[in-house]
Structure 1
Amino acid sequence: MEPIVRTWPRWAGYAAGAWSLVAVGLALYWAGGGDAGYPLDEGKSVAWLIAACLGVGGIMAVSSVRDVGRQMPRWWPLTGIWAACVLAGAGTFGFVMNALQLAFTGTVDDWPAFGVEVLCAAGAALLAGTALAYRRGTAGACARCGEAHAGTGAVKRPAPVSAAPPGVRRAAHAGMLAFVPYIVMKTTWAFGGSFAGIDGERVVAEFERNGASGLILTLEKYGLDFTTLSALLGIFLLLGLTREWGQVFPGWAPFSGRRVPRWLPLTPAWLGAVTLGPYGVVATFGYLLPPVIGLGDLPDDPLLHGWSGWTVAACGIGAFAVYGVALGVAAWSYQRRTRPRCVSPGSPGDGAPSGP
Structure 2
Amino acid sequence: METTTPPRLKNLALAGTLLALAAGALWTLRPETVPYAGTSEVLLGTWLPQDRLGLPLLVASLLGTAALTAGSRLPRAAFGGVATAEAATLLVGYQGSATMPTFGYALAMCIPVLLVVVGALAIVRMPRWRVPLLGLTAGVVAAGAWSGVLTWSNVRSTLGAIVGKLADSPFFFANLATVAVGLAWVALLVTTFPGAVRRATGWVTRHRRGFTVGAILCAAPYGLARLMWLTPWPLENLLDTSTRLELDDSTRLWGLMLGSACLLGAILTSGLISRWGEVFPRWIPGYAGRPVPVALAAVPGFTVATALLAGAPSMMAINIDGTLQGWLVALLVFPFAPWGILLGLAVWGYLGHRQVQHAAVTTQLAAVPR
TM-score (norm 1): 0.67
Q: 1:264 to 1:15 in 2, by over 3 A?
A: closer
Q: 1:175 aligns with which of 212, 215, 219?
A: 215
- Higher helix proportion: 2
Deviation at 1:11, TM superposition (A): 3.6
The aligned counterpart of 2:80 is 78
Q: Provide the C-alpha distance between the structure 1 equivalents of 2:321 and 2:193, rounded to a whole number of angstroms.
A: 41
Where do 5+ consecutive residues of structure 2 fail to align?
112-158, 199-203
Q: In structure 2, what residue type is equivalent to 1:204?
A: L
Aligned to 1:251, the other structure's residue is in SS state coil
The aligned counterpart of 2:280 is 249
The aligned counterpart of 2:228 is 188
Give the 5 Å matches for 1:62-141.
Answer: 62-64=69-71, 69=72, 71-90=73-92, 91=94, 93-94=99-100, 95-103=102-110, 105=159, 107=163, 108-109=165-166, 110-135=168-193
- Equivalent pair of 1:249/1:260 in contact (CA under 8 Å): yes
Deviation at 1:84, TM superposition (A): 1.0
Aligned: 1:333 with 2:349: yes
Q: In structure 2, what residue type is equivalent to 1:168?
A: R
Deviation at 1:332, TM superposition (A): 0.4
C-alpha RMSD over aligned residues:
3.7
- Equivalent pair of 1:27/1:48 in contact (CA under 8 Å): yes
Q: In structure 2, what residue type is equivalent to 1:259?
A: P
- Equivalent pair of 2:227/2:256 in contact (CA under 8 Å): yes
Q: 2:253 aligns with which of 214, 219, 229?
A: 219
Deviates more, 1:22-31 or 1:105-114: 105-114
Percentage identity across paired residues of the two chains? 20
- Equivalent pair of 1:61/1:131 in contact (CA under 8 Å): no
Residues 274-320 of structure 1 deviation map (CA, whole Å, 9 limit, x = unaligned): 11034336744x45556137xxxxxxxxxxxxx5x7765555422x2
Q: 1:258 aligns with which of 290, 293, 296?
A: 290
Q: Provide the C-alpha distance between the structure 1 equivalents of 2:13 and 2:28, rounded to a whole number of angstroms.
A: 22
Q: Provide the C-alpha distance between the structure 1 equivalents of 2:308 and 2:321, rounded to a whole number of angstroms.
A: 20
Aligned to 1:17, the other structure's residue is in SS state helix
Deviates more, 1:118-127 or 1:239-248: 118-127
Q: 1:16 aligns with which of 13, 22, 26?
A: 13
The aligned counterpart of 2:247 is 204
Deviation at 1:273, TM superposition (A): 1.0
Q: In structure 2, what residue type is equivalent to 1:317?
A: F
TM-score (norm 2): 0.65
- Equivalent pair of 1:13/1:62 in contact (CA under 8 Å): no
Q: In structure 1, what residue type is equivalent to 2:256?
A: D
Q: Provide the C-alpha distance between the structure 2 equivalents of 1:126 and 1:188, rounded to a whole number of angstroms.
A: 38
Deviation at 1:135, TM superposition (A): 4.4
- Equivalent pair of 2:205/2:350 in contact (CA under 8 Å): no
Where do 5+ consecutive residues of structure 1 fail to align?
1-6, 140-144, 147-163, 209-215, 294-306, 352-356
Q: 1:348 to 1:279 in 2, by over 3 A?
A: same
Deviates more, 1:46-55 or 1:231-240: 46-55
Q: Provide the C-alpha distance between the structure 2 equivalents of 1:16 and 1:194, rounded to a whole number of angstroms.
A: 44
Residues 185-218 of structure 1 deviation map (CA, whole Å, 9 limit, x = unaligned): 322221233435259993524xx8xxxxxxx557
- Equivalent pair of 1:242/1:334 in contact (CA under 8 Å): yes
Aligned to 1:266, the other structure's residue is in SS state helix
Deviation at 1:82, TM superposition (A): 2.7
- Equivalent pair of 2:208/2:346 in contact (CA under 8 Å): yes
- Equivalent pair of 1:61/1:127 in contact (CA under 8 Å): no
Deviation at 1:23, TM superposition (A): 0.6
